[in-house]
Amino acid sequence: MSTSASVGFTLSPDRVSGGIWRRDFRWLWAAFGASELGTAVGYSALSIIAVLLLDASDLRVSMLTVLSGVVAAVVALPLGPWIEYRSKRPVMIGTDLLRFLAVASVPAAAYLGWLTYWHLCLVAVVHTVATLAFNCASVANLKALVPREHRAEANSRFEATLWTANAIGPPAGGLLISWVGVPAAMVVDAISYLASAAGIRRLTAPERPPPRRAAEHHWSADVLAGWRYILRHRGLTALFFNAMVFGGCIMAASPLLTVFMLRDRGFAPWQYGLVLGFSALAGVVGSLLARPLIDRLGHRTVLLAAGVGRCLWLGLIPFAPATLGGLALIAVSEFMLLLFVGLFNPTFATYRMNATTDEYMSRVVMAWSITSKTVQPVFIAAAGLLAAATTARTALIVTAALLLTATALLPWHDDDARKDMRYVPSQDGPAAPDPPARRWPRRPSTRSATNARR
């Protein structure tokens, strides 16, 4: 018997398909959009404050990023099981409030003259830990809220919102910092977490009860359960290592691209910014294409094609000359890379939801996030050392070659991947057939059929 059934939790079919989940999804989507836009506006604000207000050295600015990743990964390790066995929405609201307090403390301390470098380090760690906790609770909540046949479109909308925020937020944040000052961007970031918490509080559908902890459980088994689940599932295992290689290479390439474009090829900062802004639009386009392509070609085909496509374009960038044509080559390469990233991410997110049973969802997401936070600094450091010993161009070529190997780590010959695209994993026994795909449900309207809107 499933956990939900054992405690008497049910949602009638009309409540699931008729409106409650759909209305709640809109509130959840709005909360996500507010949070991501605020984060984008405050992008790099901690580093900028460290440089402009505290006159921190280059090493200290770099250590701020490293600490927030590595230390937060260690601190967050026991949070996966803790979140798994609790209701997810209180965790999401609590972590939003914690992020609000952490971020808001920076402009407050700056105003009072109490701001220090170690204060920034503490805020970076607390913010990252809270974000990791929020994300693993959020994925489990989204899976329980959205019916399976609509998860691809739900993830596509979240991905499009993420890319839109990242296209709008940094320029807006830059203007805000120029006009008002760096702390103003952090005030906007802090307020966005209050808006996110308020949106989550508006959810009205009953939350699925959390799984019950087994009587014979051991803390070490609970902590490692996410990794064990991933490694027992062939499709998740392949995508896990694919994600580590891809994420590490892309994060390592980011500072190399900055050096290559601005110093080695002599492009102006506005040209560099233009390339980044133009390529961010590709993520929006890719995420909006995800659901139509999945409907037409199937989840597995889109997952594999997008997984290959996102690895093919970085290798063109090191061969761009210092001309207008070279700038166009870099822009097109970045655009195509992020187009396939925008297409891959919601497809992958849907696959991982369907491949993971409810009682492991939070721990799988936490294990995935912690590994990423640990692996990416290693890739960044290795690429930086290679660039220092050779050139940024050479380091980019090596990184692009390593990125190509990630295509071999996709679930090419995996029966689990085929099943997870067609069936709903069940905690009660054999998997149940996937319901027929339907369009996003329409909201009843008094308007005529011609003018009705979704």
pLDDT at residue 212 in the model:
76
Instruction: Decide if pLDDT at 45 tops 70.
Output: yes
Binned at pLDDT 50, 70 and 90, residue 219 comes out as low
Instruction: Please say if the pLDDT value at position 438 is more than 70.
Output: no
What CA–CA distance (Å, rounded) separates 294 from 315?
Answer: 28
Inter-residue contact 59 to 201 (CB < 8 Å): no
pLDDT given for residue 205 in this prediction: 84
Residue 432, strand partner residues: 424
**Least confident stretch, 51-55, 64-68, 346-350, 392-396:** 64-68
Largest distance between two CA atoms of the chain: 68
Dihedral-angle region of residue 298 (phi above 0 means left; psi in -120 to 50 means alpha; beta otherwise): left
Mean per-residue pLDDT, 18-35: 83
pLDDT beyond 70 at 17: no
The radius of gyration of the chain from alpha carbons, rounded to an integer in Å, stands at 22
Mean pLDDT across the chain: 82
Tell me what percent of the residues of the chain surpass a pLDDT of 70. 84
The CA distance from 325 to 330, in Å, is: 9
Confidence of residue 88 (pLDDT cuts 50, 70, 90): very high
Give residue 228's pLDDT.
Answer: 93
Q: What is the mean pLDDT of residues 61-67?
A: 74
Tell me, rounded to whole angstroms, the distance of Cα 113 from its chain centroid. 35
Which of the listed ranges 16-25, 45-54, 109-118, 334-343 does the model predict with the highest average pLDDT?
Answer: 334-343
Domain ranges of the chain: 20-208, 219-426
Query: With bands split at pLDDT 50, 70 and 90, how would you rate the model's confidence at 327?
Result: very high
Please tell me the predicted confidence (pLDDT) of residue 20. Answer: 59
Q: How confident is the model at residue 435 (pLDDT cuts 50, 70, 90)?
A: very low
CATH top-level class of 20-208: mainly alpha
Mapping DSSP onto H, E and C, the string for the chain reads: CCHHHHCCCCCCHHHHHHCHHHHHHHHHHHHHHHHHHHHHHCCCHHHHHHHHCCCCCHHHHHHHHHHHHHHHHHHHCCHHHHHHCCCHHHHHHHHHHHHHHHHHHHHHHHHHCCCCHHHHHHHHHHHHHHHHHHHHHHHHHHHHHCCHHHHHHHHHHHHHHHHHHHHHHHHHHHHHHHHCCHHHHHHHHHHHHHHHHHHHHCCCCCCCCCCCCCCCCCHHHHHHHHHHHHHHCHHHHHHHHHHHHHHHHHHHHHHHHHHHHHHHCCCCHHHHHHHHHHHHHHHHHHHHHHHHHHHHHCHHHHHHHHHHHCCCCHHHHHHCCCCHHHHHHHHHHHHHHHHHHHHHHHHHHHHHHHHCCHHHHHHHHHHHHHHHHHHHHHHHHHHHHHHHHCCHHHHHHHHHHHHHHHHHHCCCCCHHHHHHHHEECCCCCCCEECCCCCCCCCCCCCCCHHHCCC
Picking from 187-196, 248-257, 264-273, 421-430, which range would have the lowest pLDDT averaged per residue? 421-430
Residue 159 in this model has a pLDDT that exceeds 60? yes
CATH number given to 219-426: 1.20.1250.20
The pLDDT of residue 175: 78
Cβ contact 54:115 at 8 Å: yes
Q: Residues 163-205: pLDDT tens digits?
A: 888 888 877 877 787 788 778 888 999 999 999 999 999 998 8
What phi and psi, each to the nearest 5 degrees, are found at residue 428? -100, 0
pLDDT of residue 416: 52
Residue 58 has pLDDT above 70, yes or no: no
Q: Is a pLDDT exceeding 60 seen at residue 421? A: no
Percentage of the chain modeled with pLDDT above 90 = 43
- 424/355 Cα distance (integer angstroms): 8
Go through 274-298 and write b for each residue having 16 or more CB atoms within 10 A of its CB, e for each that does not: ebbeebbbbbbebbbbbbebbeeee
For range 143-168, the mean pLDDT:
88
80 has a pLDDT exceeding 70 = yes
